[in-house]
């Protein structure tokens, strides 16, 4: 299929392997059915519109992402750019889960509005504060990230493809829409209100960032139609993809790819529920089908589009292959032929699959970069409560606070001096012991005797009784008892640092005893130190 040529810009990106399928079409629904299997997969609802089936399947968020809390602008910026919260020119360092890049790196195609296009929208309910001015630069980057993923993945077939966004003077055109107070409650409510406002063009697909946190990660429209030709329903307009604020920067490519036909049930590695099984791939994950994943492409970045170029996307499929004879999203008229990007760097990540909350662990990354380029490695996690000691570099120390539970993801990202990047992600689980692990709490002081009104420093520590390793992020309460009395009184509560220690300045008026008490959690038992005496003379 021939597409009009257009000028391009290079760009970089990483999207976590997450996922959110969904689906719908450009015409009003006539029938809504809840299905157990056919035709959209196990436990996936579907609708019938104008005689066409369209599937609707909201999906899970990445580990550690709270779908009921809108990230702040600063949190979104750090997720995208790292701690500096601003685009950096290559070569640079980034601790972000994605690769920072210069702005305005989407393809500049034609006059920006001719032909088939992807229109992007910032939408919010009328009772949600408007923060477009704060996030519009991030939205531009998310759109460019999708463009980058598709272009780099197409480059593996010896050609390039770019997203045909609606642009204005080569800058991404973002429409701002205010919905009713209930307009963000569901995908159908948002879609119906947008259609009523005129977003129903047959030559447009709509990628909608909804500034909401109502339990949705992302959802989009997908026709079960694997016909190879341009008449495929997924090659039509009026289709919607929605990504909510908790999953901004994670789900955009996944959702847009659904609207251009990924993944059909007939694909070699299909889950029969709109996704694929062969990782690493932005469209693959364990969905409602319950089918297990297979590690076919372990060295590919998690954002890669079609792991083996055999299920839903191949810019140059071999004659007679599945994607030459069935629907191939790379044929979409919403993509633009382009020059091929240079080869991308690669990165491998080493991190433990499980560890105890509060116990720091080592993580390392090894990058392979094309000759002649410099590069930087950055670290990030899907858990806002967990931390790295070094945000950049080939190695770091990682820990979650002692009271943490559940799971999360660690991501290492490499960016080279031509602005190309890759990432690797591993999921970790915080171990839950059968019996709470024993803690040793201790306290010492900088001086055993001081003059009245003078200050001394108390030092507390918490360590694992079995391994003697320090426990980081443990809440510790400090108590005192004046000599001659029996009652212990609480001074304050502090949190242990990476070395499992706390420090507190005290200024007793009389001879006083001090001790610390560690707080119990799912992982750790409580312990209290013996009293340490500071004499006032």
pLDDT digits (tens, 9 = 90+) for 356-409: 999 999 999 999 987 767 789 999 999 999 999 999 999 999 999 999 999 999
pLDDT band at 302 (very low <50, low <70, confident <90, very high): confident
Strand 456-464 to 449-450 pairing: unpaired
Average pLDDT over residues 8-26: 31
Please check the confidence at residue 492 and state whether its pLDDT lies above 50.
Answer: yes
* Contact between residue 208 and residue 20 where contact means Cβ atoms under 8 Å apart: no
Lowest mean pLDDT among 14-23, 375-384, 460-469: 14-23
Q: Which DSSP letter does residue 269 get?
A: T
Tally of residues, the chain: 537
Question: Is the pTM here over 0.75, yes or no?
Answer: no
* Contact between residue 371 and residue 483 where contact means Cβ atoms under 8 Å apart: no
pLDDT band at 457 (very low <50, low <70, confident <90, very high): very high
* Contact between residue 487 and residue 398 where contact means Cβ atoms under 8 Å apart: no
């Amino acid at each position: 299929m021939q597409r009009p040529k257009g000028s391009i810009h290079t760009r970089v990106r990483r999207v976590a392997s997450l996922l959110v399928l969904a689906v719908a079409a450009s015409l009003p629904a006539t029938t809504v059915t809840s299905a157990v299997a056919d035709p959209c997969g196990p436990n996936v609802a579907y609708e019938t519109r104008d005689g066409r089936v369209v599937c609707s399947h909201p999906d899970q968020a990445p580990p550690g992402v709270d779908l009921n809390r809108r990230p702040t602008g600063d949190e979104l910026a750090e997720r995208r750019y790292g701690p500096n919260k601003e685009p950096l020119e290559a070569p640079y360092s980034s601790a972000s889960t994605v690769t920072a890049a210069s702005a305005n790196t989407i393809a500049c195609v034609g006059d920006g509005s001719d032909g088939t296009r992807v229109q992007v929208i910032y939408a919010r309910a009328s009772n949600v504060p408007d923060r477009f001015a704060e996030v519009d630069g991030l939205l531009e980057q998310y759109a460019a990230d999708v463009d980058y993923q598709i272009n780099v993945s197409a480059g593996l077939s010896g050609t390039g493809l770019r997203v045909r966004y609606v642009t204005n003077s080569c800058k991404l055109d973002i429409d701002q829409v205010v919905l009713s107070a209930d307009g963000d409650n569901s995908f159908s409510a948002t879609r119906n209100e947008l259609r009523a406002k005129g977003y129903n063009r047959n030559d447009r697909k709509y990628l909608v960032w909804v500034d909401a946190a109502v339990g949705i990660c992302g959802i989009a429209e997908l026709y079960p139609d694997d016909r190879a030709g341009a008449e495929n329903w997924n090659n039509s307009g009026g289709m919607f993809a929605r990504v909510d604020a908790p999953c901004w920067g994670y789900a955009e490519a996944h959702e847009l790819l659904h609207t251009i036909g990924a993944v059909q049930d007939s694909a070699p590695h299909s889950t029969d529920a709109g996704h694929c099984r062969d990782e690493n791939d932005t469209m693959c994950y364990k969905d409602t089908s319950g089918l297990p994943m297979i590690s076919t492409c372990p060295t590919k970045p998690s954002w890669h589009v079609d792991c083996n170029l055999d299920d839903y996307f191949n810019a140059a499929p071999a004659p007679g292959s599945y994607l030459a004879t069935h629907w191939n999203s790379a044929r979409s008229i919403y993509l633009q032929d382009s020059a091929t990007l240079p080869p991308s760097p690669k990165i491998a990540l080493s991190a433990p699959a499980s560890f105890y909350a509060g116990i720091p662990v080592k993580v390392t990354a090894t990058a392979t970069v094309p000759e002649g380029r410099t590069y930087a490695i950055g670290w990030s996690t899907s858990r806002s409560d967990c931390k790295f000691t070094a945000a950049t570099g080939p190695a770091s120390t990682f820990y979650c606070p002692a009271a943490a539970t559940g799971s999360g993801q660690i991501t290492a990202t490499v960016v080279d001096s031509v602005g190309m990047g890759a990432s690797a992600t591993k999921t970790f689980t915080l171990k839950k012991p059968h019996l709470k692990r024993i803690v040793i709490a201790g306290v010492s002081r900088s001086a055993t005797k001081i003059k009245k009104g003078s200050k001394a420093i108390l030092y507390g520590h918490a360590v694992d009784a079995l391994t003697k390793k320090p426990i980081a992020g443990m809440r510790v309460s400090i108590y005192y008892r004046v000599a001659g009395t029996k009652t212990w009184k609480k001074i304050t509560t502090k949190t242990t640092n990476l070395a499992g220690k706390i420090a507190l300045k005290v200024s007793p008026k009389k001879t006083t005893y001090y001790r610390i008490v560690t707080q119990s959690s799912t992982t750790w038992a409580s312990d209290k130190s013996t009293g340490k005496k500071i004499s006032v003379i």
